[in-house]
Amino acid sequence: MNSFVLEVHGLCKKYGHQLVLNHFDMRVQQGSIYGFVGENGAGKTTLIRLIAGLDFPTCGKLSLFDESDPRILRRQRSRMGFLIEGPALYLDMTARQNLEMICIQRGIPDKQEIDHILELMSLKENSNKKVHNFSLGMRQRLGIAIALLGEPEFLILDEPINGLDPTGILEIRDILIGLNKRKGTTILISSHILPELENMATHYGFIHKGRMLQEITAESLAKKCRQFVLLKTDNKEKAAAILEDELHSHEFDVYPDGSIHIFDLINRSEEVAACLTTHQIAVKEITICGERLENYFKNLIGV
Amino acid sequence: MDSIVCAHIYRFAHSQVVKIFFSIYIIVCLLSLTSEFASPSDLLIQSLIDMSIPSLGLSIFSGIYIGTEFRNRTIQNQISHGEKRSSILLMNFLMLIIVFVVLVFIYAFVPAFLFFLKSGNMGILSGYEEYGLWPQYFTRLCIPATLLTVARASGLFIIPFLFKDTVRTILTSIMYSLVVPMLTQSDRFQYPYQYYWPGNIDISIDIAIVAISIIILFIAYYVALAFFKRAQFK
């Protein structure tokens, strides 16, 4: 059985002469937290609007939970929660009334869920306050609360931490990770701020100018972005032996060009150099290398 | 579809804006009483056919209610949760019709009721009142007149779904409310005593008025649906 909640093949979206999505492909695995990364204007929100049924693709295919027929696709959306370009709220009503309203619209009979969600999003104390008096961060929390109502199987959040303070960002991150772990909720988070995704995403998709550049698991990305000590000596075999015997390193790779990448002595490069010199091995070069996620993305899009 | 109806009822019950709107509208209707008293002989029926104040009221209402739903993206929220676009439109369209009828009735009945308190009669056509022809008065005059007024206002039910914005909805609706009543004034209900004196009744014309009004409303709905089904939402 297919384990993808979202599959997009060759999707295009044109506004006038501007091609916003250009034969776009994407697959979101069930149970994953998918970090959807791209610059402003790359086409992230356009894709999300197409998934939400707020706009129509010019060409291509989109399936949700293995269904691509437009009528069934519409019904599949009732299994999803969305936060698109900020929260959709009734400003002249209270936070609780907003949630009650959404419960009515979605046919959620359990009103206790409202209390649970208000508690979860730290909005309980302000639940009877009119939303037009809410700060940007509180509105964002309420928007996320609305997306979470009815325990959706697939949650799509477009820039969810906009307006949140640092504590709020951590709280939301923990809530989303908890949902993913406990209930197996698949989550797609779009963002142009990479550090917010780093400790959360299990998969990444990089979009640039309407095209999917790369889809990669967090594990593979971590390997690619991992920092290491780059060592170049006049005797790679002897250096490798010293690393293992004297410095007790277990994670290093020796390359044909003579360089050695050491992963577990990242903070001990001076000690490595001193040890090799003591054993009369000439150190030609010793530096710390590796990429952060931001640099990886920059290199990918060629900035 | 039931859930959309229930959501509207909930919003009407809890929205501050809706309460403020209806309070102000009732005050405006009471203020218009002074001019209505100038020709009290057919006060009720003339108010039912006068769409100017109710349509101005609906212009404001559709802007602050439907326009705000688009601006705050709460309608978009319903679509993204899998609700049918046609159901969303139908329920909002019917809601606007009901609100308009309520506005027409408030405009017609509030002054008539106050007139009754003052003079002991409702200010309806003297022949009908004198001979106790209440059923004929309501079925042959009030119902066709109300339906015709609703049909003349049908553009107002489409405008919020074309513009999807508060300010543009209000401005366009107000322009409609200023122009259309002048172009579609009905002498038949404006001077009903010339047409409806008891015993001088042609029922086929009344049936035609009802049928045409309903057809106009259907056309208006399908025009709105054609736009709304293909609309792209920001």
Please state the rounded mean pLDDT for residues B52-73: 92
Residue B4, CB-side half-sphere exposure with 13 Å CA sphere: 21
B residues 6..65 contacting A (CB < 8 A): 6-7, 10-11, 14-17
Q: What is the value of pTM for the model shown?
A: 0.83
Query: Is the CB of B3 less than 8 angstroms away from the CB of A92?
Result: no
Average pLDDT, chain B: 84
Give the pLDDT confidence score for residue B129 in this predicted structure. 65
At B6-30, the pLDDT tens digits run 899 999 999 888 999 999 998 888 7
Give the pLDDT confidence score for residue B36 in this predicted structure. 56
Query: Is the CB of B10 less than 8 angstroms away from the CB of A101?
Result: yes
How far apart CA A172 and CA A190 sit, in angstroms, is: 14
A100 in contact with B at a CB cutoff of 8 Å?
Answer: yes
Structure tokens at A189: 């988070």
Task: Assign domain A226-295 to a CATH class.
Answer: alpha beta
A129 in contact with B at a CB cutoff of 8 Å?
Answer: no
Q: Which residues contact B143 (CB under 8 A, 6 or more apart)?
A: B210
Q: Which residues contact A178 (CB under 8 A, 6 or more apart)?
A: none
From residue A125, how far is each of A45, A111, A133 by CA, in Å? 32, 17, 14
Give the pLDDT confidence score for residue B151 in this predicted structure. 93
What secondary structure letter does DSSP report for A128? T
Give the pLDDT confidence score for residue A89 in this predicted structure. 92
Chain B interface, best mutation among A65, A78, A98, A105, by max B CB count within 10 A = A105
Structure tokens at B172: 């366009």
At A172-183, the pLDDT tens digits run 888 899 989 999
At B83-101, the pLDDT tens digits run 999 999 999 999 999 999 9
At A20-45, the pLDDT tens digits run 999 999 999 999 999 999 988 899 99
Give the pLDDT confidence score for residue B43 in this predicted structure. 65
Q: In what order do the strands lie in the sheet with A252-254?
A: A252-254, A259-262, A228-233, A283-289
**Which range (A99-103, A221-225, A242-246) has the least confidence?**
A221-225
Residues of chain B contacting residue A104, judged by C-beta atoms under 8 Å apart:
3, 6-7, 10
- Min Cα distance A92 → chain B (Å) is 6
Model confidence band, residue B199 (pLDDT cutoffs 50, 70, 90): low
Structure tokens at A220: 């593979």
Give the pLDDT confidence score for residue B168 in this predicted structure. 94
Chain A interface, best mutation among B61, B81, B164, B230, by max A CB count within 10 A = B81
- The superfamily in CATH containing domain A4-222 is P-loop containing nucleotide triphosphate hydrolases (3.40.50.300)
Q: In what order do the strands lie in the sheet with A186-191?
A: A80-83, A154-158, A186-191, A33-38, A203-208, A211-217
At B112-154, the pLDDT tens digits run 777 777 777 666 665 666 666 777 777 777 888 889 899 999 9
Model confidence band, residue A289 (pLDDT cutoffs 50, 70, 90): confident
Which residue from A258, A257, A266 is spatially nearest to A238, judged by alpha carbons?
A258
Model confidence band, residue A47 (pLDDT cutoffs 50, 70, 90): very high
Per-residue pLDDT for B45 more than 80?
Answer: no
Give the pLDDT confidence score for residue B190 in this predicted structure. 66
- Tell me which residue has tokens 């959620």: A108
CATH 3.30.70 maps onto chain A at: 226-295
Please state the rounded mean pLDDT for residues B41-57: 79
B residues 62..81 contacting A (CB < 8 A): 68, 72-74, 76-81
For B19, the domain range is: 2-230
At A226-265, the pLDDT tens digits run 778 889 988 888 999 999 998 998 888 888 888 898 888 8
Residues of chain A contacting residue B3, judged by C-beta atoms under 8 Å apart:
104-107
Give the pLDDT confidence score for residue A114 in this predicted structure. 92
- Min Cα distance A99 → chain B (Å) is 11
Task: Name the residue in chain B with its Cα closest to that of A70.
Answer: B82
Per-residue pLDDT for B60 more than 90?
Answer: yes
Q: What is the CA angle A277-A278-A280, rounded to 5?
A: 60
Residue B155, CB-side half-sphere exposure with 13 Å CA sphere: 17
Residue A203, CB-side half-sphere exposure with 13 Å CA sphere: 16
At A125-158, the pLDDT tens digits run 999 999 999 988 889 999 999 999 988 999 999 9
How far apart CA A266 and CA A103 sit, in angstroms, is: 52
How far apart CA B176 and CA B173 sit, in angstroms, is: 5
Give the pLDDT confidence score for residue B34 in this predicted structure. 64
How far apart CA A111 and CA A102 sit, in angstroms, is: 11
How far apart CA B183 and CA B55 sit, in angstroms, is: 14
Please state the rounded mean pLDDT for residues A208-223: 89
Percent of chain B at pLDDT above 90? 44
Residues of chain A contacting residue B15, judged by C-beta atoms under 8 Å apart:
90, 92-93
Residues of chain A contacting residue B234, judged by C-beta atoms under 8 Å apart:
85
How far apart CA A32 and CA A83 sit, in angstroms, is: 18
Q: Which amino acid is at B77?
A: N
Q: Which residues contact A33 (CB under 8 A, 6 or more apart)?
A: A176, A177, A180, A186, A187, A189, A200, A201, A202, A203
- Min Cα distance A292 → chain B (Å) is 34
Q: In what order do the strands lie in the sheet with A59-64?
A: A18-29, A4-15, A59-64
Please state the rounded mean pLDDT for residues A113-124: 90
Q: Which amino acid is at A142?
A: L
A72 in contact with B at a CB cutoff of 8 Å?
Answer: no
User: Rg of chain B's alpha carbons, rounded to an integer?
Assistant: 19
Residues of chain A contacting residue B233, judged by C-beta atoms under 8 Å apart:
49, 54-55
- Tell me which residue has tokens 């005593």: B193
As for how many domains chain B has, the answer is 1
A108 in contact with B at a CB cutoff of 8 Å?
Answer: no
Residue B158: CB atoms within 10 Å: 23
Give the pLDDT confidence score for residue B5 in this predicted structure. 87
Per-residue pLDDT for B65 more than 80?
Answer: yes
Give the pLDDT confidence score for residue A70 in this predicted structure. 83
CATH 3.40.50.300 maps onto chain A at: 4-222
Which residue from A195, A140, A134 is spatially nearest to A162, judged by alpha carbons?
A140
Which residue from B224, B220, B173 is spatially nearest to B58, judged by alpha carbons?
B173
Residue A205: CB atoms within 10 Å: 25
- Min Cα distance B75 → chain A (Å) is 9
